[in-house]
Structure 1
Amino acid sequence: MQEPTTKQQEELQGRYPLSRHQIEAYRRDGHICLPQLASPQEVSFYRKAIREAVEKMNTEKRAMKDRDTYGKAFLQIFNLWCTSETLKRFVLSKRFGAVAAQLMGVERVRVYHDQALFKEAGGGHTPWHQDQFYWPLDTTHTITLWMPLVDLSKNMGIMQFASGSHQQGYILSKEISDASETFFDQYVKDHAMPVSGRDTMNAGDATFHAGWTLHNAPANNTNTMREVMTIIYYADKTTILQPDNAFREADLKAWLGGRKPGEMAESEMNPLV
């Protein structure tokens, strides 16, 4: 695998300036879209390494018709940063981490984990859900970067957000499923929450959303793979919660390096960026 040039490494670490208006909008709405967080040249370079890792690590071999709703939503590959120095540079980018910290208003952030979310051509919708249902982290300072690696058209499954929903906190103890879609769809309507999202996104644009922000994504009704890379961050000095569901128990074992409830979430699996 080709390594980045010095110039490419330096560019990915460069600063992305945020305005006060952008920071205020994120904290009000629980989400924001930032244009060209990564340049076309950077995305083109790192996309090759991400695609290679996804192709190597993907274990989903079932036909679309044989999968449940979650299985149809996307191919999900975790912790690519551990697979190569190239992907480590991408995921641990100081530029990305600094934006996450500024939006949340914290001094430093750690990586919880990364994941490639590739929605196949003809892939199904991603139901309404809250990410932090899965995370045993005792903080509201959590945030996810969601970056397309290819230009996205309207019918490829771009994320949608229920603005202001993060202010409700933990709404329902339910994983991503048909049941979460039904409940949260009615919840959003009952609470008159504006649903917003972009019609198109360019490769290198990025959305950020809070851990409690309700979000979903339509199906990919095109013949093109929706290639997206995500990185989850949380505030440094966060402690670990006692898991209250099986998914948080699994996450505790998978992503927090053997740490236990009550301890700091600062294992070698959660690098400071």
Structure 2
Amino acid sequence: MNHQLENTHIEFYQKNGYLIVDNFLDDRELAVWREAVDEAVAARKNNRLPYNTAKIPAKAQGEAVFQQRINLWMDHPGVRRLMFDDRIGKMAAHLEGVDGIRIWHDQAFIKHPWANPTTWHQDNTKWSFSSEHAITIWVALDNVTLQNGCMFFLPGSHKARLKDHPAAGNRVGAMFETYPELGGLEPAPVVLRAGGCSFHNGLMVHAAHANMTPYPRRAFTCAYMPNGSTFNGTSNVLPDATLESLQIGDVLDDDDQNPLIYSRRQAERIC
């Protein structure tokens, strides 16, 4: 795993809100990731979440954009081993300059042939915690090209402090109607070979092309929250039992739901 970060990588990330890491996984590691994710997605069937047995309608709008299966680490040991790799947690923590990182949720993204584009959006505004230091890793399990649905980032948009987040529906450029000043930013395409990855800040404005090929485009991602993050009242992917136990302002530190995968203090004690 190509997990070493230089100061120049951290500086680029903090300025632009994203970082591309080529050859993140070697061929052997890529094969392990593909096998684990494919098995986990197949075992989950039509359940998006491990603790929600409601089936996803075959023509659900989200499924027209990509097939999404969340928190596969909870019910597949192979994915769990991948997600608990503290080398990834250390990268995320160092890029964001925080002491500890917890899993918010993982997810498989499978953009099927001819699938729709993903509209411009931010991630953290949908989550159950609010942070300027949320971060996501996005690992390409297939080659990701301009033709099959690569992402695009708006460099520096993570610093824009956007307040309103209108529902975009299927209008790709809806965000620019609310924030025309973002329309002057030049999008950066995230073209990756299989085994490469990107990191992006939770407030990064990003989108993805349609898949204009007859082949699926597989990716696996994990969103992380800084240790010590607190509940903001949004349900997002939290199970009902957890939501019932929380009040706004409570620290999200349940290791069964949001495990701590890297702590600088713990690492220093071990050393």
* TM-score exceeds 0.5: yes
Whether the aligned pair in 2 keeps the contact of 1:137 and 1:239 (CA below 8 Å) is: yes
Equivalent of 1:235, from 209, 212, 226?
Answer: 226
Tell me, yes or no, if structure 1 residue 223 matches structure 2 residue 214.
Answer: yes
Distance 1:102 1:190 in 2: 30
Structure-2 change in CA distance of 1:254 and 1:133 (3 Å)? farther
State the Cα deviation string for residues 59-116 of structure 1 (Å, max 9, x = none): 2563xxx443x33110000111011221111111111111110100011100001000
Equivalent of 2:235, from 242, 249, 255?
Answer: 249
Helix, strand or coil for the counterpart of 1:56? helix
Helix, strand or coil for the counterpart of 1:178? coil
TM-score normalised by the chain length of structure 1: 0.84
Structure-2 change in CA distance of 1:171 and 1:36 (3 Å)? farther
- The answer for the alignment partner of 2:68 in structure 1 is 76
Distance 2:103 2:167 in 1: 22
Structure-2 change in CA distance of 1:190 and 1:38 (3 Å)? same
The count of residues paired between Structure 1 and Structure 2 equals 249
- The answer for the alignment partner of 1:157 in structure 2 is 149
Distance 1:204 1:85 in 2: 21
Equivalent of 1:207, from 180, 187, 198?
Answer: 198
- The answer for the alignment partner of 2:259 in structure 1 is 271
- The answer for the alignment partner of 2:109 in structure 1 is 117
Equivalent of 2:124, from 132, 154, 160?
Answer: 132
Equivalent residue runs for 1:1-273 within 5 Å = 16-59=3-46, 62=58, 66-68=59-61, 70-175=62-167, 177-179=169-171, 181-186=172-177, 190-191=181-182, 192-198=184-190, 200-241=191-232, 243=233, 248-253=234-239, 258-267=245-254, 268-273=256-261
Q: Where does structure 2 lack aligned partners over 5 or more consecutive residues? A: 47-55, 262-271
Structure-2 change in CA distance of 1:256 and 1:151 (3 Å)? farther
Whether the aligned pair in 2 keeps the contact of 1:113 and 1:255 (CA below 8 Å) is: no
- Following superposition, the deviation at residue 256 of structure 1 comes to 5.9
Distance 1:67 1:110 in 2: 30
TM-score normalised by the chain length of structure 2: 0.84
- Following superposition, the deviation at residue 123 of structure 1 comes to 0.8
- The answer for the alignment partner of 1:9 in structure 2 is none
Helix, strand or coil for the counterpart of 2:147? helix
Amino acid at match of 1:132: N
Helix, strand or coil for the counterpart of 1:231? strand
Whether the aligned pair in 1 keeps the contact of 2:128 and 2:236 (CA below 8 Å) is: no
Helix, strand or coil for the counterpart of 1:25? helix
- Following superposition, the deviation at residue 136 of structure 1 comes to 2.2
Whether the aligned pair in 1 keeps the contact of 2:40 and 2:72 (CA below 8 Å) is: yes
Aligned CA RMSD, in angstroms, stands at: 2.2
% identical aligned pairs: 27
- Following superposition, the deviation at residue 53 of structure 1 comes to 1.4
